[in-house]
Amino acid sequence: MRSSVRRTAVGVFAATIVVGGFGLAGAPASAASAAAAVPQAVPPQAALPDAAVAQTAPPGSPSSPTSPGATPLGPTVAVPGTPPIPAEVNAGAFVLADQATGAVLAERAPHQKLRPASTLKILTALALLPRLDPAAVHVAVPEDIADFGKNEPGGSAVGVKPGLSYRVSDLWNGVFLRSGNDAVATLARMAGGVPATVDLMRQTAQLLHADDTTIVNADGYDADGQLSSAYDLALMARAGLQDPGFRAYCSLQRAQFPSVNGTTYEIDNENHLLGKYQGMIGVKNGYTSLAHHTFVGAATRNGRTLVVSVFDAGTDIYQQTAKLLDWGFAVPAGGPGVEQLTPPGPLPHSPAPDETLPPPGAVHTSGPGAAGAVPASASAPGAAGSPLPSQAAAAPHKSGGSLMGDVFETLLYVVLVLVLAVVALRARVLWKLRKADDDDSAPE
């Protein structure tokens, strides 16, 4: 009997250790899942590359005309006397242009109207950046993101939480780095609401001569009739690079995003070429299940900047973009292009944010017309005036908190629980062994 109990005890203890080992091995995933359920964690959507969150197609949405990156939507046209475009560049449409001169070096289906996905946020930024003071602080309320949660299932989010305070610059970081539709919704409400923002975007598109573009919402989420083109997005990026605020946000590789209890967590830019491709400035990536992968970017070499816009591509969109840029930088500068980017009309510019400053100290306000919102009289594109000073504030965000810190802390709790469980089980086994010894020694 004693040997049987001892074998059972050894088996139970070994099984406990094995289970504990699997638990420890799986702890990071479990901790990450737990972290995603609390405000400190970056939501699952924001953790995916390229804001790659599959959207549920809106009712009645037409399917995309091609499979991702499989079929070019038109012939490729390049500056005469240049080598052919690399065969690996099989995106549906693209435009590659010189930032300074506007000369288009190569293009494919440049005016084909396609779903832009989150690259449409470039236009959102051009419309709203000059109208919101980057230092203004907004206290988020449920109404800021109510429509986003209801109308955009599966939409990408950075993790805006009602009750927390955000600088306008924090929200723009959430837009440019993590493609947060919740951040767009909050900024739009600060500027007067989504309908007013969409109207401003339409006015801005007219000033840019982006005639292929129709806007339905403020963030690029798939919607019937919301279309743009590689040419129009190149126009938008070219204009954005001339704006100090836009350029600062689109080139930022990482930032701290506000969380609960005055902490922050780190968000990284989803642009896979930023910091890896020589001279990459940045701009904006996008993805939806209907648009496929889209990307608009810019890079500088030897004092020359090229703008590239790629639509309807597969998962290798960054490799395709890099090959296009390599090809473009090999083309001699100063020559005529196959087409010319239309110069934009006068657009107001925005200041570059100071990421080192804590939120200013002032009185809390929120909702439409809150901190940083420019009066309606100054809301038309090209209107004179500078951003309003901050009219809201909160406690400074505590730096240093991050998603990895949250995961590590959760992992420690998991390890502690496992250790306590092993100790308790071992004590129970030892008690059974002692009881068995007593039974064996008892007189028969």
Q: Kindly report, residue by residue over 210-239, the tens digit of the pLDDT.
A: 999 999 999 999 999 999 999 999 999 999
**Can you tell me the mean pLDDT for 61-79?**
66
Q: How confident is the model at residue 30 (pLDDT cuts 50, 70, 90)?
A: very low
The predicted pLDDT at position 50 comes to 35
User: Does 400 or 354 have the greater pLDDT score?
Assistant: 354
Dihedrals phi, psi of 310, to nearest 5 degrees:
-125, 130
Q: 3-class DSSP state for residue 202?
A: helix
Identify the domain containing residue 435 by its residue range.
Answer: 2-30+408-441
Task: Return the structure tokens found at 442.
Answer: 């008892």
User: Does 76 or 428 have the greater pLDDT score?
Assistant: 76
Number of structural domains in the chain: 2
Q: How confident is the model at residue 68 (pLDDT cuts 50, 70, 90)?
A: very low
Within a domain: residue 38? no
- Tell me the percentage of the chain whose pLDDT exceeds 90: 59
The verdict on 292 and 417 lying in the same domain is no
What is the average pLDDT value for the chain, to the nearest integer?
77
Q: How confident is the model at residue 436 (pLDDT cuts 50, 70, 90)?
A: confident
**Can you tell me the mean pLDDT for 20-30?**
34
The verdict on 8 and 78 lying in the same domain is no
- Tell me the percentage of the chain whose pLDDT exceeds 70: 70
The verdict on 351 and 436 lying in the same domain is no
Q: Per-residue pLDDT for 367 more than 70?
A: no
Domain of residue 172, CATH code: 3.40.710.10
Active site residues: 118, 121, 179
The verdict on 423 and 337 lying in the same domain is no
* SS3 of the chain: helix, strand, coil, percent, to 5: 40, 15, 45
Q: How confident is the model at residue 408 (pLDDT cuts 50, 70, 90)?
A: low
The predicted pLDDT at position 364 comes to 32
The verdict on 274 and 161 lying in the same domain is yes
Q: Per-residue pLDDT for 366 more than 70?
A: no
The verdict on 304 and 412 lying in the same domain is no
The verdict on 395 and 413 lying in the same domain is no
Within a domain: residue 20? yes
Within a domain: residue 308? yes
Q: 3-class DSSP state for residue 280?
A: strand
Within a domain: residue 39? no
Please tell me what DSSP assigns to residue 429: H
**Can you tell me the mean pLDDT for 151-157?**
90
Within a domain: residue 37? no
Look at residues 365, 381, 399 and tell me which one is the last residue of a structural domain: 399
Q: How far apart are CA 280 and CA 271, in angstroms?
A: 10
- Let me know: does 106 contact 85? Beta carbons within 8 Å: yes
**Can you tell me the mean pLDDT for 362-373?**
38
Within a domain: residue 69? yes
> Which residue in this structure is represented by tokens 């939507």?
73
The verdict on 302 and 421 lying in the same domain is no
The predicted pLDDT at position 285 comes to 96
The verdict on 25 and 163 lying in the same domain is no
The verdict on 12 and 71 lying in the same domain is no
The predicted pLDDT at position 400 comes to 40
Please tell me what DSSP assigns to residue 294: E
H/E segment holding residue 339: strand 339-340
